Amino acid sequence: MRRAGGRLIAALLTTLLATGAAARDGRGENTPRLTAETAAAGAVLADARRRKRAGTRAKVPPGKPRRKAREAAAPAGSAPAKARFGAVHGPTAPPTRAIGGYSRGCLAGAAQLAADGPHHSAMRLSRNRRWGHPETIAFVEDLAAAAAGGGLNGILVGDMSQPRGGPMPFGHASHQVGLDVDIWFAARPEAPLSPEARETMDFVTMLNAAGTAADPERFTPHIAALVREAASDPRVERVFVHPHIKKAMCDMSWPRRGFLRHIRPWYGHDSHFHVRLKCPAGSPACEPQSPPPKGTGCGTQLDYWYTPAPWTPDPKAKPKSPLTVERMPPACRELLAAPSHVSVPTPAPPGTTAPPAPEPMSAAPPGPATDGAALANRTPSATDGAAAAPDQAAAPVPTGQPTPVPPSPQ
Ligand SMILES: [Zn+2]
C-alpha cells in the first residue's frame, strides 16, 4: 500500500509539474486536460488515503492486473477530437455540407478562401483555417467589396474553419461547420502584406486604453458601417462583438436599427468581429442556432454586461472535458476517415516550426443569461451562451476594471 501510495504521489507531482509547464510556456490549450488529470490523480490519492484509513484495498476488476485498473476506467477511443481534426490538412470532395452544430460539427467538401482577393487579405495562413462553406467565402468577398465601396482599403480575414471543420487544437469553441468567420476591425493596409506580416501583425483593439469603452479614434464610422453591413446581410445569423463595441453601435444614429438585433455582445471580440452565417440550403444535418432575441439588444438588454455577473467566475463551474470524436455526429466520424480531395501543404510560420501561440484557455466565465431576457438566470444561454460560445472567452475581470485585451484574439 505504501509503495502504491508513493507511485500515486509521484504521478500527482508529475501531472502538477506538467500543468505548470503548460501554463508557463503559454500552451494553455493543454491546461483543461491536465487540470482534469490532476483532479483525477488527486481523487485517486484521496481515495487511497480513505481506504488506508478504513483498512480496505481499492477494487480491481477481476482478471485484470492491478496497474491496469486506471487505464480500464478510461472510455475507449476518447481521444480529443481537436487533435484529430487539427491533424487533417485537406478537405473531402464536394458537395459541401455543414454537419452538426457550430460548436460540435464538421464540414464536408470545404472550399478555400483565396489568400488575397481584390479587397481582402487572409491572415495567419500557417493555421490552415481559411476553409468554409462556399456561402461563407461568397459572404467574405461581398463584405470585402462593400468595405472597398465604403472607403476602406478592404478587409483582413482571420480564422474561418479547418479543412474538415471540427474542433481546433487552440483558439475557438465554434468555427466547426464552415459558417463562422473572424474579420479584423482594422482595415487592410494599403501596402501588400508580406508572409511574415500575415503571421505576426498585431491585433488592434477598438477599445480605449482603460478598456472601458470603444475608442472613437479607432472604432470609426467607416468601421461601424462595415459591421452594420455584415449584420444586415440576410445570410448572417449573428455578429459577435465586445459589449463595448455593441454599446458604441447602439449609441450611433442609424436610419434603420433592425440590424442591431444581429449584433451580439460577447467576451473578447474587441479587435475582430465574428460573423456567423445561418445554416445554408443543401445542409440538412446543419443544426441551426435559434434566432437572436427580439429587439435591438441595446438599452436594458445590454445592461447585463455592465454588472459583475458576466465577469465573475462561477466557483462551482467544472472544467469541460474535451470534445471527443465519439461525441460528435456520426457523419463527422466518417468524414475524418475519408481521403483528402486535394493535398494541402501546411506552411510553417516564417522563421519557426513551432505552432502559433494559442489563446489562454482559462475556465470560461459563466455565460450571459438569455441574451437580454431573464437576466437573473445565470444558466448559460441556449441562444448566445456557452453552448454557442463563438470563441474562447477572455479572462473575467470585475466590472469597473479595464476589460482585458485578449493576447491573441482569434
Ligand atoms: Zn471567431
Q: Decide: residue 194, CB within 10 A, 0-12 exposed, 13-18 middle, 19+ buried.
A: exposed
Query: 50 lies in which domain range?
Result: 2-58
Of 256, 286, 311, the residue at which a domain comes to its end is 311
Please tell me the distance between residue 105's alpha carbon and the centre of ligand 1 in angstroms. 15
**Is 98 contained in some domain?**
yes
**Is 231 contained in some domain?**
yes
Of 279, 311, 343, the residue at which a domain comes to its end is 311
Instruction: Based on the fold, state whether residues 145 and 219 are members of the same structural domain.
Output: yes
Question: Is pLDDT above 70 for 76?
Answer: no
260-270 tens-digit pLDDT: 999 999 999 99
Please tell me the distance between residue 382's alpha carbon and the centre of ligand 1 in angstroms. 18
What average pLDDT score do residues 59-86 get?
Answer: 53
117-132 tens-digit pLDDT: 999 999 999 999 999 9
Instruction: Based on the fold, state whether residues 50 and 184 are members of the same structural domain.
Output: no
Please tell me the distance between residue 307's alpha carbon and the centre of ligand 1 in angstroms. 24
**Is 330 contained in some domain?**
no
Instruction: Based on the fold, state whether residues 167 and 305 are members of the same structural domain.
Output: yes
Dihedral sign for Cα atoms in the order 213, 246, 100, 157: negative
* φ/ψ of residue 97, rounded to 5: -140, 130
Please tell me the distance between residue 409's alpha carbon and the centre of ligand 1 in angstroms. 8
| Alpha-carbon gap, residue 373 to 371, rounded angstroms | 6
Instruction: Based on the fold, state whether residues 100 and 219 are members of the same structural domain.
Output: yes
- Which H, E and C letters describe 31-95, residue by residue? HHHHHHHHHHHHHHHHHHHHHHHHCCCCCCCCCCCHHHHHHHHCCCCCCEHHHHHHCCCCCCCCC
Please tell me the distance between residue 270's alpha carbon and the centre of ligand 1 in angstroms. 11
Please tell me the distance between residue 103's alpha carbon and the centre of ligand 1 in angstroms. 11
**Is 323 contained in some domain?**
no
Please tell me the distance between residue 240's alpha carbon and the centre of ligand 1 in angstroms. 8
Instruction: Based on the fold, state whether residues 48 and 114 are members of the same structural domain.
Output: no
CATH number for 295: 3.30.1380.10
Question: Is pLDDT above 60 for 87?
Answer: yes
Instruction: Based on the fold, state whether residues 225 and 99 are members of the same structural domain.
Output: yes
Split at pLDDT 50, 70, 90, the class of 234 is very high
Please tell me the distance between residue 63's alpha carbon and the centre of ligand 1 in angstroms. 49
Q: Report the length, in residues, of the chain.
A: 410
Instruction: Based on the fold, state whether residues 172 and 122 are members of the same structural domain.
Output: yes
**Is 241 contained in some domain?**
yes
Instruction: Based on the fold, state whether residues 140 and 222 are members of the same structural domain.
Output: yes
Instruction: Based on the fold, state whether residues 97 and 52 are members of the same structural domain.
Output: no
Instruction: Based on the fold, state whether residues 154 and 221 are members of the same structural domain.
Output: yes
Residues with CB under 5 A from ligand 1 (ion): 182, 274, 391
Split at pLDDT 50, 70, 90, the class of 371 is very low
**Is 336 contained in some domain?**
no
Please tell me the distance between residue 343's alpha carbon and the centre of ligand 1 in angstroms. 26
Full-prediction pTM beyond 0.75? no
**Is 215 contained in some domain?**
yes
Instruction: Based on the fold, state whether residues 92 and 137 are members of the same structural domain.
Output: yes
Question: Is pLDDT above 80 for 151?
Answer: yes
Count CB neighbours of 105 within 10 A.
28
Question: Cell digits for 346?
Answer: 501546411
**What is the number of domains present in the chain?**
2
Please tell me the distance between residue 69's alpha carbon and the centre of ligand 1 in angstroms. 41
Please tell me the distance between residue 391's alpha carbon and the centre of ligand 1 in angstroms. 5
Whether 81 contacts 323, CB under 8 Å: yes
348-359 tens-digit pLDDT: 555 544 443 333
Instruction: Based on the fold, state whether residues 171 and 122 are members of the same structural domain.
Output: yes
| Alpha-carbon gap, residue 143 to 171, rounded angstroms | 24
**Is 266 contained in some domain?**
yes
